Each structure stands twice: as structure tokens, then as C-alpha cells.
């Protein structure tokens, strides 16, 4: 019997997708993990800040109510993005993430892209596109590699 193991990318992809299941967003479930030297440093999913009611608890999405398109007006939302939460967890727990990589179920928006750049994250692996060309432009200019995974 031949036993096969997932590649590292497949392994981290499965975990990233599992992290997304914790999301409290009614619109889009996103997960992110920050990895360095094949070790998971932090995880994050999209949802409201600590001690703030989330959209699942409230039962409605403000962005949906107002018809805000994806990729626009990020400030009109109770939640933080998965990438933001993964970065904030590193700060909260004192975990060094410089020279790491991030896996995300969705391509980062421009807000997350700027945070990723300034944290020193070197690569982004993602699975779904997101309508934010400025994010791609900034990541390219900063030399952060953006890799779309298709499995």
C-alpha cells in the first residue's frame, strides 16, 4: 500500500480553509494563516473585534443592507479581515512574523496588502481572486510574491 502525504502547500491550504469555518461574516468566509519555516505562527478569520457583537449575533450584514460591492468601502463593516486578524494575533501574543508567508482563502484587499507589506511578509498564497487591482499593484511594487493556488 502506498501512503501519500499532502505537499506543504496542500497541507496549509486545508488548514486555511478550516480556519475560515470560524468566520462570523454572513457575506464571505475567509481564513488566513501565517507560516514560517513550515510552522504555523498565527491564524485569523474574518469577524468582529473582541468584545464586539458580530454579524451572526446581530443577524444582518450592514454591507449587504447598503448594497456595498465587494472591494469597496471596507470601513462599512463590523468585521476585520482574516489577514488582519492573523497579523493582530502575532502582535497580541508577541510572535515575530517578519520573513514569513501567509495563506489566505482570498486574495488580500489593499488594506491587508499594506499591512502585509509593512509586516515583512514575503509571499501570499491564496485561492480566490478579489476585485482590488491596487492591492496587486502595491504588492508587486513592494516585491511581495502573490501566488494563486488551484487545488
As annotated, the active-site residues are 83
In angstroms, the CA 116 to CA 118 distance is 6
Sign of CA dihedral 92, 47, 75, 77: negative
CB atoms inside a 10 Å sphere around CB 141: 9
**Which of 88, 86, 66 is CA-nearest to residue 77?**
66
Amino acid at each position: 500500500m502506498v501512503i501519500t502525504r499532502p505537499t506543504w502547500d496542500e497541507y496549509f491550504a486545508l488548514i486555511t480553509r478550516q480556519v475560515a469555518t470560524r468566520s462570523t461574516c454572513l457575506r464571505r468566509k475567509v481564513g488566513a494563516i501565517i507560516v514560517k519555516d513550515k510552522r504555523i505562527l498565527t491564524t485569523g478569520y474574518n469577524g468582529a473585534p473582541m468584545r464586539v457583537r458580530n454579524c451572526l449575533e446581530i443577524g444582518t450584514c450592514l454591507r449587504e443592507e447598503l448594497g456595498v460591492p465587494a472591494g469597496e468601502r471596507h470601513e462599512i463593516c463590523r468585521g476585520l479581515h482574516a489577514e488582519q486578524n492573523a497579523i493582530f494575533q502575532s502582535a497580541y501574543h508577541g510572535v515575530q512574523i517578519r520573513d514569513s508567508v501567509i495563506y489566505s482563502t482570498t486574495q488580500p484587499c489593499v488594506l491587508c496588502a499594506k499591512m502585509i507589506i509593512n509586516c515583512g511578509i514575503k509571499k501570499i498564497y491564496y485561492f480566490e481572486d478579489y476585485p482590488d487591482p491596487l492591492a496587486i499593484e502595491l504588492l508587486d511594487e513592494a516585491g511581495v510574491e502573490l501566488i494563486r493556488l488551484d487545488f
